[in-house]
């Protein structure tokens, strides 16, 4: 068993905890460097987005058009080799457009079976743009999936 490492507080960290923190620091430095090649002047946003990602939470990016929000999120997913999808919310968007739907398919044996086609919510990183424009049922489907 590894020896605990003393910290400034009364808590103690194991050697595994220290290694995990060091790995996280290295990953964050590489992520910041890679995103810095494409996104200029958004270091605070990159840091906060990384915190959301590492904490397995959700992030809300707000700002005027042209601040590279979509580019930032898509490059973040690309940099980390994650599946990315973007949902543009419109007044006519239906809940099944987000979650997916069953489609009747002909099989090789001449039968018909329902096959589930995944919606864009089945991605590691999902950019939901202009959620306020969607009808309440569609907004509810998005929030339920989150």
For residue 9, count CB atoms less than 10 angstroms from its CB and return exposed for 0-12, middle for 13-18, buried for 19 or more: exposed
The residues, ordered by sequence, that sit 6+ positions from 3 with a Cβ below 8 Å of its Cβ are 15
Q: Is the pLDDT of residue 56 over 80?
A: yes
% residues pLDDT > 90 (the chain): 56
Q: Is the pLDDT of residue 121 over 90?
A: yes
Q: How far apart are CA 100 and CA 94, in angstroms?
A: 10
> At 77, is the pLDDT very low, low, confident or very high (cuts 50, 70, 90)?
very high
Its pTM stands at 0.74
Q: Which residue, chain included where needed, has tokens 């430095």? A: 29
pLDDT, residue 2, reads 52
Tell me, what's the pLDDT at 5? 52
CATH architecture of the domain covering 84-146: 3-Layer(aba) Sandwich (3.40)
Domain boundaries, the chain: 1-82, 84-146
């Amino acid at each position: 068993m590894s020896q605990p490492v003393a910290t400034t507080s009364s808590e103690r960290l194991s050697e595994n905890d220290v290694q995990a923190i060091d790995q996280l620091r290295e990953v964050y430095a590489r992520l910041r460097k890679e995103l810095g090649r494409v996104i200029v002047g958004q270091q605070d946003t990159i840091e906060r987005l990384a915190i959301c990602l590492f904490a397995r939470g959700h992030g809300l990016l707000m700002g005027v058009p042209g601040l590279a929000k979509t580019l930032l999120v898509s490059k973040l997913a690309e940099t980390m080799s994650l599946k990315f999808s973007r949902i543009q919310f419109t007044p006519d968007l239906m809940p099944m457009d987000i979650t997916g739907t069953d489609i009747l398919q002909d099989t090789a044996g001449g039968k018909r079976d329902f096959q589930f086609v995944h919606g864009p919510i089945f991605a590691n990183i999902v950019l939901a743009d202009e959620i306020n424009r969607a009808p309440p049922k569609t907004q509810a489907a998005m929030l339920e999936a989150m």
